Structure 1
């Protein structure tokens, strides 16, 4: 997994992106609103830039028009020579890389907060690349403490040895908010309000950091992706069953060996045959049918996050 250094200077260039998937309406509507009224994103030490990441997909109210934009920020796509037959999202990824990056460069934005919705019963999730991202871990902790009565889970998405591919990976640092359940193309007031509050709290944390606040070490619980499980299928590749009622809507709850995971169309149950308990997420996510994913398996981790020290004071003028 990657290891991102702790910022040693104030974060000045921050972006809040919505509509990376054009039918995830909380981020779409917030980005559109803030582009017209950006004052809500201003803080004394910086002003976050709102951005509609995938305008074509947003206009069509589709996840994407050519390929999944949030899987397109890899070196293979960003550095390849442009071709007239490139999918729209490949061209758009290169545009965003120039605007917010270039990726892995000193000129990249300091932080990107990317906004997403899921049709799965995920509640509020904070998606980060790995445990080594100390700044993001402290931001996650800050967000959790704002509403301790509401579950706010941390998801570690990056597999060992895997190149980061998401929009927020273009910046020096970043994370994604994932709120659900919300149907594709639908806006729910409760999730819209919750996402708006989370963005405000995230920007407040960056402001505190920029003001030389120090944050103590703590213990963090998170869920790390292990892999995915497909639906049962026929030899022709069609669905042969669906998510079992006992698993549906139980995202990030323990799934033990022998528990039912699918219900075949002939009425038979398919049981989980793993050797250990896992925590499934994105169960029956609408956007993942095309990807051959019924749910992801994760493991629950507890780990120590080191303190985030205050920024060193800027050197004064020479005597």
Structure 2
């Protein structure tokens, strides 16, 4: 009797398992229903498709796979698509194709740093993960520009030591630099003119550049950073020169747009090296050079009271950023 019950139970269980597997396979093989779009969703998708098509047409160049992926990934962000200018698409295209290498030196050795693509900082969680990616990327840009400046500065110092033997070509280079760095009444025969040029032709300490980029761009996530590659809050004052801030009151300025992050960083460094508001920064930096010292961000930051309307509070924030994130270790020149 017990054997019959046992074998009956086994048989029933076997049939049940077979029935379950057949039905499961049948259910899995059925096509899944696509979610029904609402009228507003259809309209938004059509607007996106139209905006993307316009970007492709206006760019006037064959877009690389990377650029197509950037635009594809951005379809959820309507503001990004509408703000993406043809010049920016072309710039991304060209930046992707060149992939130039730059030399990056630290306090102990030289290394080659290959092209580094701009990360989407919003994809990283706030805190240490985003900080690491942010500092790595801007270290690449800032150090690249500082290396270029140091290379030219060394040449100028050599030419200054023996003015009489400078070639006509190099004289033109010096005159060009004097104009670029806005050195008034430059006289190639005057030692003081060379000193004024060298006071401007110098690096911005990496710690300071990293801290300001983080502060001004909200760690790379601000509207101006994402749409205009402006990571330093730089302004322009002609109509249509940049992005109009949502809260600017009666003041007539826009936030400058750049064709690439590199150009934004280079403009920031040039601004500190030439604008009258930062004369004290350049003076203190020249004194550090005369004493044979490395240029320190924690010293020069004290001269940036005119960079922000917040004045001394802004300086305190930058100092905290430099100290908390141990950025002074990058000031090795």
Q: Which has the higher helix share?
A: 2
TM-score by length of 1: 0.26
Rg larger for: 2
TM-score by length of 2: 0.25
Q: Which has the higher strand share?
A: 1
